[in-house]
Structure 1
Amino acid sequence: IAELNLPKTTKISFPNGKDDLMNFEATLRPDEGYYLGGSFTFTFQVSPSYPHEAPKVKCKTKQPNDEDPLNHEAAAVLRDNPQKFQRNVQMAMSGGYVDNTHFPRCK
């Protein structure tokens, strides 16, 4: 892992210790775009049968995902009113409410 050349916006950690390389977390801090300044953590669980079984990846940070096919509202706001979408993202990352949904602070 030490030889990985990760960008400064990415950090890798091993919650179970460095001997368990099959379970790790990656934290991404975008340096541009709508999510600039946010911090988003993903967990990765790699099965012993990898590459025949895909790793399980989960985003631990709640965020209004406009690309989620179940989130039609966020996609419509992004398409129709990008400024409102930007405000919603900032509100969500600050630990506020977007519509009736509360988002924990992720900065």
Structure 2
Amino acid sequence: MADSPRQIWSLKKEQEAANKTKPKVSAAELRVKKDMNELDLPAGVKMELGPGGNMLDFTLSIAPDEGFYKGGQFNFTFRINPNYPHEPPKVRCTQKIYHPNLDLDGNVCLNILREEWKPVLSLNSVIIGLQFLFLEPNPDDPLNKEAAEDLRRNRDSFANTVKMTMRGGSVRGQTFDKVQIK
């Protein structure tokens, strides 16, 4: 025999009450959780979730083991907005460093964080892109035009300038943060 309308109504009210006590999870949170579960962070890359385990606001640390920036540690904040993955995460470097693709305010020039972002890309794609910027800076798409010009003009001189600024040195009156760990 079928449940009476009163029993069905009672069950529905119980389910609604139970659902009100569960925190709502946004589509962005679900996708970020999936992205994080699929992450395979390479050596030299560390992630720390935001306060209370917040996956939409976290930090990432990259310590390159080769290239111009070898021996440094670079910290980034990631802010995921509610439209993720339809919009890219907002990524900023927390240190002032001498790099063609990072400005002095920490903005990052990475094509997949701008015009080439697609919802099929993931946090892993962004992390790989950041690592590549430290391995091979792109002077053809700069945020720091002076660093880009220095790289184009003389790679050896650029490498020396990077090493000096990683120790907290100054270039053209601008002092950079000490990021050297090795």
Give the TM interval when normalised to the shorter protein.
0.7 to 0.9
- Aligned residue identity for 2:173: N
Q: CA deviation at 1:2?
A: 7.1
Work out the CA distance in 2 between the residues paired with 1:17 and 1:96: 36
Work out the CA distance in 1 between the residues paired with 2:38 and 2:178: 32
Matched, 1:15 2:15: no
- Backbone CA RMSD of aligned residues: 1.9
Matched, 1:52 2:94: no
Q: CA deviation at 1:87?
A: 1.1
Work out the CA distance in 2 between the residues paired with 1:8 and 1:57: 20
Work out the CA distance in 2 between the residues paired with 1:54 and 1:62: 23
Structure 2 residue aligned with 1:38: 72
Aligned length, in residue pairs: 106
Query: Which segment is superposed worse, 65-74 or 84-93?
Result: 65-74
Sort the Cα spacing of 1:55 and 1:90 in 2 relative to 1 into closer, same or farther, 3 A.
same
Query: Which segment is superposed worse, 30-39 or 65-74?
Result: 65-74
Conserved? CA contact 1:63–1:103, under 8 Å: yes
Conserved? CA contact 1:23–1:45, under 8 Å: yes
Conserved? CA contact 1:91–1:98, under 8 Å: no
> How does 1:92-107 map onto structure 2 within 5 Å?
92-107=165-180
Structure 1 residue aligned with 2:58: 24
Gap runs ≥5 in structure 2: 1-35, 102-140
TM-score (norm 1): 0.86
Instruction: Identify the structure with the greater helix proportion.
Output: 2
Gap runs ≥5 in structure 1: none
Instruction: Identify the structure with the greater strand proportion.
Output: 1
> How does 1:44-83 map onto structure 2 within 5 Å?
44-67=78-101, 69-83=142-156
Work out the CA distance in 2 between the residues paired with 1:92 and 1:17: 35
- Divergent runs of 4+, >3 A: 1-4, 67-70
